[in-house]
Amino acid sequence: MKTTGEVVGVIANLVTVKTFGPVAQNEICYIELGNIRLMAEVIKIKGENAFVQVFESTRGLGIGAKVEFQGNMLEATLGPGILTRIYDGLQNDLKAMEDVFLQRGTYNDPLDMNSTWEFTPLCNVGDIVVAGNWLGWVPEGWLEHKIMVPFKCKGQYKVKSIKEKGTYKITDTIAVIENEEGEELPVTMIQKWPVKVPVTAFTSKPRPKYTLETGIRAIDTFNPIAEGGTGFIPGPFGAGKTVLQHAISKQADAQVIIIAACGERANEVVETFVEFPELDDPHTGRKLMERTVIIANTSNMPVSAREASVYTAMTIGEYYRAMGYKVLLLADSTSRWAQALREMSNRLEELPGQDAFPMDLSAIISEFYARAGYVYLPNGKTGSVTFLGTVSPAGGNLKEPVTESTKKAARCFYALQQSRADSKRYPAIDPLESYSKYLEYEEIQKTLEEKFGAGWTELVTRAKTYVQRGKEANEQINILGDDSVPVEYHDRFWKSELIDFVILQQDSFDVTDANCPMERQKMMFELVMSICDGKRDFKDFEECSSYYKRLINTLRQMNYSEWKSEQFDKYMNQVNDILNEKK
């Protein structure tokens, strides 16, 4: 028997419900408004009153409206057919919606329940299985979509029956498993999982030991992110957060891409809809959308739906991780999510923290980021969810609460600097403010040195020192003038510019330079560092700047040339000629 209730108070999207029975935290309920039903989630319980956040507009809702509690939390529907789809935060399929605008109280199936899939079994009758074990697979694009023992299963089960290879609907029973008490559980190709509960169908979750290649030099070389790691990109409006995320999603070494547009402007979300289906996947030669899921939540949708969108995206990511895939989850922007938390907290009249954000904002963000990770699955395979969020601090202030709270949770910090964006130095990642804590991990250091040779991390540290010293020298030159400082100061400054122009800057619109493989990054970085480590004598600052400008221009032409082509070798010879001038 479902618990019922009635509305006794409405403050925008926060509705107070008098309950006539037991309810649970985060339980889903439906509020009747005329002939439509509005979905809501319990966020606070006080006595017989439940405070619920409504995922729709509450316009026209009044006191006395009937409420029915469902006895379950907000759940994601998981199964074949998720890839290529565009969902809202409640996992409604937006392509299946008939109207231009979303209609209140309209919800549809996230998957096509009538679709058929070619099933191939991976287990036998009598096998002992646990939650997350693979029972079989179906082809989803070019990926093998694993059909798993439902995540909700506790303890060991025995496979009682399994379907033979053939074509089945996703609602058909493809296996029957039996628990230790002899209770039978039919398994279909779909399962449901509460989005706010982490999926724990793995045996261990160690510290990451591999780096995730993104094709972006400022990340891979200077501040690498780990496979199964976390990072975030704060930056003011116009600094290139969205373009950087799109570049990473296209080039990163991941098999599944999930994009959560969380409270972004509608025109930016529409651009994603229009552009992604047209993008070619550099890894497979097919369309990038074939391995992508988009969760769309625009700024004009109710604020509470923003929270649902990030949790739904993470749950889908964990689902594909349990299949043994590398998943990259990009959220843009978590600031909008935090603003939604602030709004609901204020309506609940909770004690406010800094800038009126909830007191537990830091804990909420940390708990969410902790769901990413590199895991070992029950069958010995591995999978990972790498999470990269953007933060949009008001006025570019990196000291505001959302940025500070995210800094505590994320291991990588890619600060986009307005001055770099204004001077067209893209990606505008500040090389001195940004950092990767993964460079301190022994496991990561070992992996990097195995791939790139001994002393790689020391080389990266030395490059950052050159950039820092160059910045200091430039400040002295600006204060005292070109002629009033030793030529050594100009030499320092131009060495930092060499690193900046050749390594840190990258043209995302150039076919060759947009994606820089690690072999090429290693060669170019070691070349640039060998130039910086060399000592040269210049008679004055003009000779110094002229020399480095020629080097920078030639090395940049190498970046635009196809790897190891005749043109690339021609510019390499020109670089050697310039270097021989000052031996």
Closest CA to 295 of 120, 60, 447, 85: 85
Q: Is 161 exposed, middle or buried (0-12, 13-18, 19+ CB in 10 A)?
A: middle
**Cβ atoms of 308 and 90 closer than 8 Å:** yes
Determine the Cα angle at 443 with ends 438 and 448, to 5°. Answer: 75
**Cβ atoms of 582 and 539 closer than 8 Å:** no
Phi, psi for residue 99 in degrees, rounded to 5: -90, 165
CA gap 306, 339 in Å, rounded = 9
**Cβ atoms of 547 and 497 closer than 8 Å:** no
Alpha-carbon torsion (298, 68, 8, 364), positive or negative: negative
Closest CA to 65 of 116, 28, 31, 112: 31
Q: Which residues contact 414 (CB under 8 A, 6 or more apart)?
A: 218, 219, 223, 231, 232, 233, 234, 244, 429, 434
What does DSSP say about strands 373-376 and 75-78: parallel, antiparallel, or unpaired? unpaired
In the Cβ-directed half-sphere of 341, how many Cα atoms lie within 13 Å? 26
**Cβ atoms of 42 and 23 closer than 8 Å:** yes
Query: Residue 252: helix, strand or coil by DSSP?
Result: coil
Instruction: Check residue 100 and give its pLDDT.
Output: 67
Q: Identify residue 337 by its one-letter amino acid code.
A: W
**Helical segments of 180-265, H only:** 217, 241-251
**Cβ atoms of 99 and 120 closer than 8 Å:** no
**Cβ atoms of 255 and 325 closer than 8 Å:** yes
Instruction: Walk me through the domains of the chain, giving residue ranges and CATH numbers.
Output: 4-74 (2.40.30.20), 118-188 (2.40.50.100), 211-435 (3.40.50.300), 456-581 (1.10.1140.10)
Q: Is 319 exposed, middle or buried (0-12, 13-18, 19+ CB in 10 A)?
A: buried
The 3-class SS string of 535-573 reads CCCCCCHHHHHHHHHHHHHHHHHHHHCCCCCHHHHHHHH
Q: Identify residue 352 by its one-letter amino acid code.
A: P
- What is the helix, strand, coil percentage profile of the chain, to 5? 35, 25, 40
Alpha-carbon torsion (261, 267, 272, 273), positive or negative: positive
- pTM, whole model, 2 decimals? 0.95
**Helical segments of 326-400, H only:** 334-347, 361-369
Q: Identify residue 507 by its one-letter amino acid code.
A: D
Beta strands in 422-558 (DSSP E): 435-436
Q: Identify residue 494 by its one-letter amino acid code.
A: W
CA gap 52, 55 in Å, rounded = 10
Structure tokens that stand for 102 in this block: 């979303």
Query: Residue 373: helix, strand or coil by DSSP?
Result: strand
Determine the Cα angle at 375 with ends 156 and 453, to 5°. Answer: 150
Closest CA to 259 of 335, 327, 325, 330: 330
Digits of tens for pLDDT over the chain (583 positions)?
A: 899 999 999 998 999 999 999 999 999 999 999 999 999 999 999 999 999 999 988 999 999 999 999 999 999 999 999 999 999 888 988 888 777 677 888 888 999 999 999 999 999 999 999 999 999 999 998 899 999 999 999 999 999 999 999 999 999 999 999 999 999 999 999 999 999 999 999 999 999 999 999 999 999 999 999 999 999 999 888 888 888 988 898 899 999 999 998 877 777 777 777 777 777 877 777 888 889 999 988 777 777 788 899 999 999 999 999 999 999 999 988 998 999 999 999 999 999 999 999 999 999 999 999 999 999 999 999 999 999 999 988 877 888 999 999 999 999 999 999 999 999 999 999 999 999 999 999 999 999 999 999 999 999 999 999 999 999 999 999 999 999 999 999 999 999 999 999 999 999 889 899 999 999 999 999 999 999 999 999 999 999 999 999 999 999 999 999 999 999 999 999 999 999 998 7
Q: Identify residue 499 by its one-letter amino acid code.
A: I
Instruction: Check residue 149 and give its pLDDT.
Output: 97
Assign residue 93 a region: left if phi > 0, alpha if psi is -120 to 50, beta otherwise? beta
Query: Residue 443: helix, strand or coil by DSSP?
Result: helix
- Length of the chain equals 583
